[in-house]
């Protein structure tokens, strides 16, 4: 009986504990998806329980992606809730804005690579062997 009461109290404390919102707005040059967040659930919370907690708090959201390895989901919020408000929802461990990354622009190389035999000899060291040991392959059959 006492064990059940203690476990129930422990579960309640775990559900009530607030998560952490990781704010990127103070960092320079960090672009994020508007109203997009990655939510990590508490370790003992399943995805459907966490999404039910969002629904009970009247969070209007769309799931962008759910993960098998990571206990969480990427969502887009359509309601007034921000990252700090999402972090306060029971069962939420961490909340991050979804960062945007740019693909680096490829630089055009005006000089084409040299695939000639002399270039390959330099890369492999054959030219050194030819000069130093006078090995050219003429006497090899």
pLDDT of residue 8: 47
CB distance 63 to 73 below 8 Å: yes
Angle at 19 between CA 14 and CA 24, to 5 degrees: 170
Domain 15-100, CATH among 3.40.50.300, 3.30.70.80, 2.60.120.10, 3.40.50.450? 3.30.70.80
d(CA 29, CA 72): 26
Residues 6 or more apart whose CB falls under 8 angstroms from that of 98 comprise 32, 33, 36, 37, 38, 64, 74
pLDDT, tens digit, 9 for 90 and up, residues 100-127:
888 888 877 767 766 666 777 788 887 7
- Mean pLDDT taken over the chain: 78
Give me the sheet containing 31-41, strands edge to edge.
20-21, 92-100, 31-41, 72-77, 61-66
Q: In the numeric block, which tokens belong to residue 88?
A: 């306060």
pLDDT at 12 over 50: no
d(CA 118, CA 103): 36
Q: Which residue has the tokens 């005006």?
A: 110
pLDDT at 52 over 60: yes
CB distance 38 to 98 below 8 Å: yes
pLDDT at 83 over 90: no
């Amino acid at each position: 009986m006492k064990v059940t009461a203690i476990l129930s109290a422990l579960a309640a404390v775990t559900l009530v504990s607030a998560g952490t919102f990781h704010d990127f707005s103070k960092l320079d040059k960090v672009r994020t998806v508007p109203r997009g967040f990655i939510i990590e659930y508490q370790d003992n919370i399943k995805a459907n329980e966490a999404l039910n907690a969002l629904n009970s708090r009247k969070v209007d959201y769309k799931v962008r992606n759910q993960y098998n390895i990571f206990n969480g989901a990427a969502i887009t919020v359509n309601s007034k809730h921000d990252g700090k408000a999402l972090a306060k929802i029971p069962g939420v461990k961490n909340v991050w804005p979804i960062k945007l990354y740019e693909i680096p622009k490829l630089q055009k190389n005006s000089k084409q690579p040299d695939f000639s035999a002399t270039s390959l000899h330099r890369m492999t060291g054959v030219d050194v062997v030819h000069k130093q040991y006078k090995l050219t392959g003429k006497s090899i059959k």
